[in-house]
Amino acid sequence: MKKHSILTLSLSLLIGGILSAQQKQWTLQECVELALENNITIRQNQLDYATAEIEKRTAFANFLPSVNANANHSWNIGLNQNITTGLLENVTTQFSSAGVNLGMDIYGGKQNFNQLHRANLALLARQYQLADISDDIALLVANGYLQIMFNQEILGVQKAQLAVSKNDLKRTQELISSGVLTIADNLELEATIATQEQAVVQAENNLRLAKINLAQLLNITDYENFAIEMIDVDVPFSEVMGESPKAIYQKSLSFRNDIKLAETNVEIAETDIALAKGSLQPRLSAFYGYSTRLSYADRLRGTGEFTDVPIGFVRSTGEVVNTRVEGREVVAPLPIADQLGLNDGHNFGIQLSIPIFNAFSAKNNLRRSKINLERTKNIKEQQQLDLETNINQAYNDAKGAFTFYEAAQRTSQTRLNAFDNAQKRFEAGVLNSFDYAQIKQRYEAAVSDEVRAKYDYIFKLKVVEFYFGVPLSF
């Protein structure tokens, strides 16, 4: 059987299995979208992004004045003067008070501006971090997707080769009946079929494991009903491989989220230095307070009637000295609205705070911020070096994989020619079954190596395209 016939039969078996299963077939784009939606790491980073948004709102709110209200109601139980009798008695009185305080920063070393700038940078850093993780997960999904396609194609090849062996066994039995071959040739082919049946089982297990791995990445638990859309993937031609690794690296610097994240972290560290310097400057703030109080106790009120009350006499004449005293009566407390206006008060002013000595905490914070800036610069430089190294490695891997694929193609073709010749000789009875099985197994191994080399090259090419900014697709 020709090589294209084996692959055609493999594809037919594959399509038949998919149609019979009638499962939803997930495309690569759908798998990537589902992974980004369900992946726990993505969820965690989305929560970090939400936290950064809160921090930004907090930094913006620092420009607004702080307003606080207070209220108090108290009972005074015990020995107090009765305003009616003037005697000390055990009585209960009630009082209420309320107030509003307002405070606002006028100048604080530009810390509010720097804090808002830092919050915006932190939010941007979370965006880059989330996008970088999303890119990595998309690449993992693509790898898992290709792994399923590879194992599916290997399974198809194994089934096709098993079908060929069964046809050979049938043909051998006919040749034995005609006396061209012996019973030993039949036994050898039966052993070959048993080996290939084991290979089919192993290929089915590998396919199932590949599906489980991708399903777990997508957070899907129904492994048995999970299937992807099978694509007839040819070895693609990519213009990216015509670029030099240096050109790929220079372009990747302009859009890679991990590099943007490192650059943003450097800006955050620079802002931290400005914040630390601001804590060394004076702070000027303004304040205003309003308060009032209420009493629920009875009160004394003048009646408008006056009486003369002696308060002494003149020594020289003995004349009595009187004073006019207005009579008083006990009445209910003033209305609440009247008391609020009569008992209110205002308090306002400005406050200046000048840092003189705080156990070197502010200066040490500044020193730590400067050290952290150097650390983030080193991290950025290291990430750029790692990116360049990874691109060179991926580029060389892709070139090597393509060379290996071309060699595997040539090997597969030569093995096919040898197998075709051996099959004719075997059917003519001039080649024994053992030698025929050896040639056939070498051809089958060459076909499997070609499939493996093809998918290995495709994935490594996608990695290079990924660094060049080409969207993932097959």
pLDDT in tens, 10-23: 444 444 444 444 56
Q: Which CATH superfamily is domain 3-71+107-293+354-468 in?
A: Outer membrane efflux proteins (OEP) (1.20.1600.10)
- What pTM does this model have? 0.75
Residues of the chain with pLDDT below 50 are: 1-21
> Which helix H or strand E contains 310, and what residues bound it?
strand 299-313
pLDDT of residue 435: 84
Residue 155's pLDDT is what? 92
| Rounded Cα–Cα distance for residues 336 and 419 (Å) | 109
Q: Is 331 exposed, middle or buried (0-12, 13-18, 19+ CB in 10 A)?
A: exposed
pLDDT tens profile 206-250: 999 999 999 988 888 888 888 888 877 777 778 889 899 999 999
Model pLDDT, residue 3: 46
Domain extents for the chain?
A: 3-71+107-293+354-468
Residues 86-122 as b or e (16 or more Cβ within 10 Å = b): eeeeeeeeeeeebbeeeeebeebbebbbbbbbbbbbb
Q: How confident is the model at residue 86, as a pLDDT?
A: 63
Percent of the chain with pLDDT over 70: 91
Backbone dihedral angles phi then psi of residue 418, each to the nearest 5 degrees: -65, -40
Which residues in 47-205 belong to E strands, given as ranges?
A: 66-81, 88-107
Q: CB–CB of 291/353 below 8 Å?
A: no
Tell me, what's the pLDDT at 366?
Answer: 93
Residue 8 is predicted with a pLDDT of: 46
Contact assessment for residue 358 and residue 237, using Cβ atoms and an 8 Å cutoff:
no
